[in-house]
Structures are given as structure tokens and as C-alpha cells.
């Protein structure tokens, strides 16, 4: 299976929702780098923030839950402690029950992308834990950050 990842040419305004998160001292590994596993905690949070806080969807006790089935990240330049990371988020594909997100990580106040990532989540029914069609309200919310943006897609 082949996956496209956003690359180094990706820019801040290619992302449509941002979450700012700080690094913690113990995010750094023996190399003094933000450990690769930690990036995924940042990425994960940007999705949940967009759905829960901006969208008002209850992703813990609600009827529909997102389960991650695949993700990946490319690391261009590390972060340190303390650093504020701005996680840019966009949706690049909305399927029947699955969705593909892409993320760009930026250091606050900087324009150069430091890491680029993607997540594929599938929405499941909370009871049966099997994939279900993405409910209309949720689909609408996801379309707000669809990229390339639909009306402007022509000249992309």
C-alpha cells in the first residue's frame, strides 16, 4: 500500500485549523530531540480538538468514535523544550466511513514546516465498534477543512 505524505514544500496557509501545544521537558529523548513518538500525541490532539471543541462532537461518550487505522510522519527539523508547536490540520479525503487528515507542524512564529504527517481514521459505531457511514453533521464539519478547498480547486 502506498501513501502520499505532505512534503517539505507544504506551507502554513495550506492548513486550515491550528492547535497550539507546548512541549514538555520529558518529551526530549537522550538526543535532546522531541522524540518521534511524541509527535503523534500532538497530531492526535489536533484532530480531537477540531472535532470536539470546534465541532461539539462527543468522541468519548457519543454514538460515533474515530479509530486511527494508519498514520505516518516525516521529520525535517526537531523541536526542543520549551517550544510552542502549532499543528496545522486539513482534510484531504472524506470516504464513506473513513477520513484522511494531513498535518504540518510549525514552531510558533516560524514559517518553515518542521514535520509533515497524515492520519487515516475510520468512524465506528460506539456500540458495535464497526465502521459506519459518517453522519451528515460530522461530514459537514470535516468538509470545512477539506483541501484543496472546493471553490478554489480549479486553479490548484
Which residues of this chain interact with a second copy, rule CB under 8 A?
1-5, 7, 19-22, 24-26, 28-33, 35-42, 44-45, 47-49, 52-53, 60, 65, 67-75, 81-82
User: Which is closer to a second copy, CB of 67 or CB of 133?
Assistant: 67
Q: Under the phi-then-psi rule, with left for phi > 0, alpha for psi from -120 to 50, and beta for the rest, what region is 98?
A: beta
Name the minimum Å distance from CB 39 to a second copy.
8
Name the minimum Å distance from CB 78 to a second copy.
8
Name the minimum Å distance from CB 75 to a second copy.
5
- Look at residues 62, 49, 130, 46 and name the one whose alpha carbon lies nearest to residue 96: 130
User: Which is closer to a second copy, CB of 40 or CB of 107?
Assistant: 40
Name the minimum Å distance from CB 5 to a second copy.
6
Cβ-contact 116, 10 below 8 angstroms: yes
Q: DSSP states of 79-127 as a string?
A: --SS-EEEEEEEEEEE-SSEEEEEEEEEETT--S--EEEEEEEEEEETT
User: Which is closer to a second copy, CB of 16 or CB of 126?
Assistant: 126
| Residues 126, 138: Cα–Cα separation, whole Å | 15
Name the phi and psi angles at 149, rounded to 5. -65, 140
Name the minimum Å distance from CB 48 to a second copy.
4
Pairing of strands 84-94, 64-75: unpaired
Amino acid at each position: 500500500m502506498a501513501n502520499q505524505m505532505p512534503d517539505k514544500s507544504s506551507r502554513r496557509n495550506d492548513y486550515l485549523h491550528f492547535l497550539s501545544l507546548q512541549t514538555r521537558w520529558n518529551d526530549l529523548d537522550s538526543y535532546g530531540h522531541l522524540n518521534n513518538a511524541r509527535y503523534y500525541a500532538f497530531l492526535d490532539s489536533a484532530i480531537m480538538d477540531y472535532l470536539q471543541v470546534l465541532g461539539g462532537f462527543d468522541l468519548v461518550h457519543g454514538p460515533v468514535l474515530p479509530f486511527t487505522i494508519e498514520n505516518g510522519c516525516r521529520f525535517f527539523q526537531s523541536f526542543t523544550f520549551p517550544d510552542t508547536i502549532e499543528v496545522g490540520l486539513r482534510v484531504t479525503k472524506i470516504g464513506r466511513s473513513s477520513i484522511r487528515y494531513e498535518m504540518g507542524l510549525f514552531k510558533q512564529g516560524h514559517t518553515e514546516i518542521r514535520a509533515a504527517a497524515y492520519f487515516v481514521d475510520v468512524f465506528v459505531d460506539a456500540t458495535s465498534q464497526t465502521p459506519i457511514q459518517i453522519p451528515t453533521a460530522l461530514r459537514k464539519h470535516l468538509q470545512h477543512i477539506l483541501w484543496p478547498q472546493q471553490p478554489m480547486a480549479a486553479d490548484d
